[in-house]
Amino acid sequence: MTTSTAGKVRTLEEAAALVADVAQLGTVGSLDGAPIAFFKELIRQGRRDLHLVLVPSGGFSADLLIGAGVARYAEGGAVALGEAGTAPNFRRATQSGALAPLDST
């Protein structure tokens, strides 16, 4: 039996508490519409081993989660910061083996 959460308003802390360790989480490639405060709350609450789904690619939000050690997998395209190039936390984590990039093609 599932409980519907439709119509319920939650605080940022309560919403982040609904995300379990090892959950799959979608991220967007730009700051437009990215819930940065929500991602920071996941970091504050100590989430671990999240599986990021990069929609269509990862950007600042994905790099933030990766840099904080929250993500274990990144599925999809690259993680980049636009004209600034490849996201530094993504590059560092994939080179060290701390993050497993998954090709979804």
Tokens in use for 91?
């590059």
9-18, 25-34, 54-63, 79-88: range with highest mean pLDDT: 9-18
- Give yes or no for a contact between 62 and 39, defined as CB atoms under 8 angstroms apart: no
Give the rounded distance of the alpha carbon of 6 from its chain centre. Answer: 24
pLDDT tens digits for range 27-62: 876 666 678 899 999 999 999 999 999 877 788 889
CA–CA distance, 83 with 59 (Å, rounded to integer): 11
CA 75 and chain centroid, separation: 10
61 closest CA partner among 76, 43, 45, 83: 43
What architecture does CATH give domain 12-102? 3-Layer(aba) Sandwich (3.40)
What's residue 1's pLDDT? Answer: 46
pLDDT of residue 23 exceeding 70, the answer is yes
Contact criterion met (CB below 8 Å) for 48 and 70: yes
